[in-house]
Amino acid sequence: MIMQTPSGGYLLPPKAQYSRKVAKGTQKHFTGQLTLGSDENPCLSDVESHTEMAIALNLMTRPDVIHVENQVPFRWRDATGKPHIHHFDFRVLRTDGTRIAIFVKAAFRLESRRLMAEFATIAAQVTPDFADRVVVMTEKDNDPITSHNAELLYAARLAEPEVDSVARKTIQELKTTVRIGALIEEIGHSGQGFWAVVRLLRSGELRLVKREKITHDALVVRGKA
């Protein structure tokens, strides 16, 4: 996580080290940075497209994902035996202990037979010590609801102890569904009450009743956390 200094300022996490140069600052397409890793060992990581950013947020906020790495190098050989290094955009560790290596591409790129043949060749050489499964993800894996909620859950990762304590006390006796807006009114603390509710959703202490965007009108119940 971002660390707060005694003076009230913040320190960014250390920069991730890659075995390849990651393009950034280009005017031709989106590039950016976000914090990956655990709360104890965060790192500032680069992404090379808006799709990568959206998928990273999706993966980081999934309840079945423990850890997300990006730009993970993998050695493979082409049909002639020539060695190469491919950098998987992401590799995730899931709660069931399995690891998934992920190619990220724009959907239209998957129409390329050459690219898909290369992906198939690389995937066929992945062994269990690197990943249990290889998948391709595109912008189509991020629908508006998923993207909206992932962005909120990521933005709410920094705790506000005073407000969070009030929010937890507020839901202790919650036995039925309730609108997020109603919870916020009870919690108080102005806009911070909303973010406290989002953090409770992030931790699993609350859950959405149905799949919908996290808004004041969304219904929530107590979770299992």
* E strands present in 105-154: 133-137
Whether 15 has a pLDDT exceeding 90, the answer reads no
pLDDT band at 85 (very low <50, low <70, confident <90, very high): very high
> pLDDT tens-digit profile of 21-79?
656 555 666 777 777 766 666 777 788 888 999 999 999 888 899 999 999 999 999 99
d(CA 68, CA 62): 11
Domain covering 3-144, topology: Trna Endonuclease; Chain: A, domain 1 (3.40.1350)
Whether 1 has a pLDDT exceeding 60, the answer reads no
What is residue 108's predicted lDDT score, i.e. its pLDDT?
A: 94
Within the chain, which residue ranges are assigned CATH 3.40.1350.10?
3-144
| Cα 222 to chain centroid, rounded | 23
What is residue 59's predicted lDDT score, i.e. its pLDDT?
A: 92
- Cα–Cα distances (Å) from 165 to 158, 170, 196, 199, in that order, read 14, 9, 9, 11
CATH number 1.20.120 given to 159-222: no
What is residue 30's predicted lDDT score, i.e. its pLDDT?
A: 76
> pLDDT tens-digit profile of 149-182?
999 998 888 889 999 999 999 999 888 999 999 9
The percent helix, strand, coil of the chain (3-state, each to 5) is 35, 30, 40
> pLDDT tens-digit profile of 124-147?
999 999 999 999 999 999 889 999
Within the chain, which residue ranges are assigned CATH 1.10.10?
159-222
Whether 9 has a pLDDT exceeding 70, the answer reads no
